[in-house]
Structure 1
Amino acid sequence: MKKSILVLFFCTLFSFAQETTVTDSVAEKNVITKIILLRHAEKEKDGSKDPKLSKQGMLRAEKLNFMLSDFSIDKLFSTAYIRTQKTLGAISQSRNITISNYEARDKNFAEQLVRNEMGKTIIVAGHSNTIPALVNVLIKEDKYKDLSEEEYGKLWILTFSNEELIDCSLFNF
């Protein structure tokens, strides 16, 4: 009788030890990734293919830097255009983070973004027709349409737990 109680005790103890190990492993693997996506700020209407930001656009870029000052930003991505680079310029300078270029229409970029940047908070600046499309790919839903030429103040924050989307929030700024 004592032997069977002892065996039962050790089996129960072993079972609890296994449960704790499994629970701890899951907790250790819960990696949160935040991706902030936005269109570049207002551009000058000079007729060129690569215009600079207007005065209003420069103010919006500064506002963005202020708005995100409480976020710990790890990486910045931008298309190679002046307007997208300058939109992230204030953040880049204030935090000493280099802006990495990406090709807006590269389907692999969207697929690899969450996986390659797991555990980080990143910002992606693009265009009126590419950022909503990128959001759609990341949320795996055709929810957002291209922005109008006059829309500059939309910002999406996507939160992933491991590689699974847990929140998609849209803000106006």
Structure 2
Amino acid sequence: MIKKCIILSIIFSITFSCGDNLGSVKQNKETKFYLIRHAEKDRSNPENKNPILTKKGIERANHWASYFDSIPLNSIYTTNFNRTKGTIRPVSESKEIIPKIYSPNKLDFNQFIKSNNGKSVLISGHSNTTPYMVNKIIGEKRFSDMLDSDNKSLFIIKIVNSKSTVEVRSVDLE
């Protein structure tokens, strides 16, 4: 009887002392990345490399906020440009999330994916960086640059057990 109690005590101790470590390496957590290109930008001055959004762009940014209203988000990332920051501003304000600035060509994608494991993340980029980010996150070159007129595509990446799926949606202004 004493042997059984000692064995049960040891098993009980090991189970509870390792619980946190086991929880931190769960593989079945779903990670979601939502990637959008910035909304319509002001093209009135071709010399301006950092334009703001047009009236339609602001309308689209507000539409993105409505779209993401019922979608839980943990983090928001944007490049350091007026148009990308302006696109996610309504979402970040409604979710009370401070956007993080990223540079796609300087990002350690393995670390980025690891640090966002089990989270839902919105990323605002550009016609060339959005598909680039999708390709890097899924680990294959599936998507080419977006058309310059495409401000409505939404890439949804789901990762579970290191396997990714990508869905592309067209989110029109209503």
Q: Name the TM tier (shorter chain).
A: 0.7 to 0.9
The answer as to 2:84 corresponding to 1:84 is yes
* CA deviation vs aligned residue, 1:62-91 (integer Å, no higher than 9, x gap): 111111111111100000001000100001
For 1:172, the equivalent position in structure 2 comes to 170
Q: How far off its partner does 1:113 sit?
A: 1.9
| Root-mean-square deviation over aligned CA pairs | 1.7
Question: Aligned letter for 1:97?
Answer: I
Structure 2 Cα separation of the partners of residues 153 and 29 of structure 1: 32
Matches within 5 A, 1:118-137: 118-137=117-136
Partner of 1:60: 60
Matches within 5 A, 1:90-105: 90-105=90-105
1:33 correspondence with 2:31: yes
Runs of 4+ in structure 1 off by over 3 angstroms are 25-29
Q: How far apart are the structure 1 equivalents of 2:84 and 2:98?
A: 13
Displacement, 1:107?
A: 4.2
TM-score normalized by the length of structure 1: 0.80
1: CA distance between counterparts of 2:26 and 2:135?
Answer: 29
Q: Do the aligned residues in 2 keep the contact of 1:158 with 1:165 (CA within 8 Å)? A: no
Residues 114-154 of structure 1, C-alpha deviations (whole Å, 9 max, x = no match): 10011110111111111101111111221111012111111
Count, aligned residues: 147
Q: State the identity %.
A: 28
SS at match of 1:105: helix
Contact 1:41 1:87 in 2 (8 A): yes
Unpaired runs of 5+ residues, structure 2, are 1-21
In 2, the alpha carbon distance for the partners of 1:28 and 1:80 equals 34
- Residues in 2 aligned to 1:113 and 1:32: alpha-carbon distance in whole angstroms: 15
Give the conservation status (yes or no) of the 8 Å contact 2:32–2:159: yes
Structure 1 residue 111: deviation in Å?
2.4
For 1:152, give the aligned amino acid.
N
Measure the CA separation in 2 of the matches of 1:29 and 1:168: 19
Give the superposition deviation at 1:29.
4.0
Q: Which runs of 5+ in 1 are unaligned?
A: 1-24
| Distance in 2 separating the partners of 1:133 and 1:114 | 14
Change (3 A) 1:104 1:28: closer
